[in-house]
Each structure stands twice: as C-alpha cells, then as structure tokens.
C-alpha cells in the first residue's frame, strides 16, 4: 500500500500516507473494523518520523475514515456512500491530472487521448 511514497514530492508524506489509506478504505481493501498498523510500527517500516504517521492518522480521523481509540489503536470506520463517492471522484481527478501531465510531457495531444480512451472503453468517451 505504501510502496510508492515519494519524500521528494511536493505532497507531504503524511498526506501521501493518508491518501493511500483512503484508497484502501474506499476499495474495501481495508474493510470497516480493520485495525491499522500501529504508529510506531508503520513509522519504523517506512523509516519516517512517528509524528508523520500520527498526522496522517489524525487527518483520516478528522475526515471520517478512521476512529482512533486511546490505547487500542486506529480502526477503519464504515464510510457512507456520499464520502465514498466524493473520494472516488477525487481519486479519478488525480488519475486524470497525472495522465494529462504524462501525456503533455510526451507531446500527446488531448484529442489523441480522447480517441484512445474511446477505443479502450468500448466507444464511450
């Protein structure tokens, strides 16, 4: 889940961690009730400061994705369909931004992308 964290990215590490966990929750890779890895354990595994993990988990709690239980850990919450839909939309936009940036770097015009999308998606663009 955390294999592509980039310490040189303009996106802070805590936000990258929170985003990866959100994706896992939205796709139910982490179903409701799942205990997240401990702050110390995840920090040690990723070789980062535990405060970074705490910040990520706090963001997830604030946004309604996890519940932090003092002395017990952080657990995945059941998220409502509105939150799931909003997060999927946010993820889709991030994918499109990345695709557009990569296409621009390769000199591929938007019309070519549209044609490729239509072809690969069965004609529905």
- pLDDT score for 1: 82
* 72 and 19 within one domain: yes
Same domain? For 71 and 101 the reply is no
Number of domains in the chain: 2
- 37 within 8 A of 43, measured Cβ to Cβ: no
- Mean pLDDT for 74-82 is 92
What six digits make up the tokens of 94? 């991030």
In the predicted model, what is the mean pLDDT of residues 105-110? 93
Same domain membership, residue 102 and residue 50: no
What distance in Å separates the CA atoms of residue 43 and residue 20, rounded to the nearest whole number?
A: 15
5 lies in some domain: no
Residue 1: inside a domain: no
pLDDT at 78 (0 to 100) = 93
Decide if 48 is inside a domain.
Answer: yes
The Cβ of residue 118 has, within 10 Å, a number of other Cβ atoms equal to 12
Q: Which is nearest to 21 in space by CA: 49, 48, 42?
A: 42
Residues 90 and 70 in one domain: no
Nearest 5 degrees, angle CA 17-CA 19-CA 22?
110
pLDDT value for 95: 87
């Amino acid at each position: 889940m955390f294999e592509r964290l980039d310490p040189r990215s303009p996106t802070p590490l805590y936000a990258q961690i929170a985003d990866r966990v959100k994706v896992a929750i939205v796709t139910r890779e982490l179903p409701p009730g799942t205990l997240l890895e401990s702050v110390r354990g995840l920090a040690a595994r990723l070789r980062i400061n535990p405060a970074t993990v705490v910040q990520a988990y706090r963001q997830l709690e604030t946004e309604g994705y996890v519940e932090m239980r003092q002395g017990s850990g952080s657990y995945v919450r059941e998220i409502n369909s509105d939150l799931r839909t909003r997060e999927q939309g946010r993820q889709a936009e991030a994918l499109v931004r990345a695709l557009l940036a990569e296409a621009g770097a390769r000199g591929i015009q938007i019309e070519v992308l549209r044609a490729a999308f239509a072809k690969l998606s069965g004609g529905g663009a």
